[in-house]
A and B are shown apart, each in its own frame.
Chain A
Amino acid sequence: MSEIMYIFYILPYVAFAIFIVGVIYRIINWANSAVPLKVPTTAGQQPTFNFIRRTWVDKIDSPSNKFWAFIRMLFEVFLFRSLFRNTKYYVEKGGKNADTRWLWLFAMLFHYSLLIIVIRHLRFFTNPTPKFVSTIEYLDGLVGVAIVPPLLMTGVIALVALAFLWGRRIFLAKERSISLPSDHLILFFMAVILVSGLLMRYIVKVDLSYVKMFALSIITVHPPSPEVLANLHWLFLIHFTFVCITIAYLPFSKVMHFAGVWFSPTRNMPNDNRRKRHVNPWDPNPEVPILARVGIVVDGQVFKSKKLDWNTYYEMYKDQLDEIAENNYTIKPEL
């Protein structure tokens, strides 16, 4: 029994190895993809005549140089600026766009609560604990001192925000139809981690001295004694296992947006299309401009983006078109 518990000691190392290798692999994979066109999306006035007003908001939303593009990235990463513009189109309301910035609100609450929760967990991984960790926990519990142990607001906020973010994917028809199983999977992992963590703190009390000794043994690479492993609470093991599974799953999941956001061409390019020539990395010196060509050659294969004729189209989608034709639909070119 006691030997098998060492699985839990090996688990975080395996999870972090997958995580680190996976994240670096994906970053390098993204960094290797060319950006053929200049595609910044803008929502502000770009520099022009002096009498056309251009505020600092325009500079962020339509950055004219690298510096302002960097500022725009900071706004995107730390304040989720593009989510702040979130609206939803309603046909039934006469084609009006409704304000859905509550998504931004709950996304902000969730991400920042999670950040503070992760910082608070440093108390298990450091010995002695740095002062700022205690201070953050004290400030976090300032509102909830009425009970012992103090109710930490980030835990509650994260749970409420998660309920909204998941509820949005479950109860709103349009969002439900675009939700993939992987969207629900990561939310499920977060829910299990959050609920088990809150249960451990407030309801099912766990002997934390062994939890901390176990955490220290992981971070100092000092195998724990069988006594420590034997005294770990089952609820802690659920919490811990799900954290490890989630960490190992991150490189394969959409949570990779934490790295991917830095690679979004619509966000990270300055809007200077007209002042600087953007050179397509895989087609640096074209004889004919790309849009004037009959087709684009990639990997020796010609893709006819313009003047696509029926025969080429049929060759490209032969299998699917034949399958449709088998169901007694007429397949013919539109003339």
Chain B
Amino acid sequence: MYHKPYVILGIVVFLIILATPYWVTAGNIKYEDIHKELAKPKGVNCIMGVKWMASKHMELLNEWREIAVRKGVRKYKTENGVFNVSLTECWRCHNYDEYCKKCHEFMDVRPVCWDCHYNPGMKIPTVNYIK
């Protein structure tokens, strides 16, 4: 083999790059069954089916934002009943910190909702911070 030290250095660098997930976390990767960790919701039925809600709740919230802000519709009828078009409707059953936030942090999702809106973790709504 020619230029052995350089070649070995190259192979070592290649292996280090492949092991990125381990060294960026200092080997601290925890397997977590997030569905067991989340707080159990209080109600019986969610707005839509549970599977639908798990993947598409943001689509529902996007739709709600538009019908509430642009058309003033405050009631939303689904096969599971009639719901208030508001985030507080979600928190009637779901604990924000133990359910919503926990899963978002697990997934490293940063909802842009709280740039404007109130959430239960805040002392006062964000809008009032701006004033």
* A residues neighboring B (CB under 8 Å): 16, 20, 23-24, 27-28, 31-35, 122-123, 125-130, 132-134, 137-138, 145, 148-150, 205-209, 212-213, 216-217, 219-220, 222, 225, 233, 259, 262, 281
Contact = CB atoms under 8 A, between A and B. Distances in A.
A20 B1 contact: no
B65 to A, nearest CB: 9
A150 B54 CA distance: 18
Contact of B25 (A35, A130, A150, A217): A130
A34 B2 CA distance: 7
Given A31-B1, A207-B54, A123 B29 contact: no
Contacts of A122: 20-21, 24
Binding site secondary structure of chain B = helix
A216 B107 contact: no
Given A125-B29, A126-B24, A137-B108, A209 B10 contact: no
Given A122-B24, A127-B106, A209 B54 contact: yes
Nearest to B59: A205
A148 to B, nearest CB: 6
Contacts of A125: 21, 29
A35 B103 CA distance: 56
A16 B112 CA distance: 36
B33 A225 contact: yes
13 contacts: A27-B10, A31-B3, A31-B4, A31-B7, A122-B20, A127-B30, A127-B106, A128-B105, A145-B112, A205-B59, A219-B22, A220-B29, A220-B31
A246 to B, nearest CB: 15
Nearest to A138: B110
Pairs of residues from A and B, 7 with the lowest C-beta to C-beta distance, nearest first: A129-B108, A123-B108, A125-B21, A207-B55, A31-B7, A205-B55, A222-B31
Contacts of B69: none
A126 B29 contact: yes
Contacts of A134: 108, 110
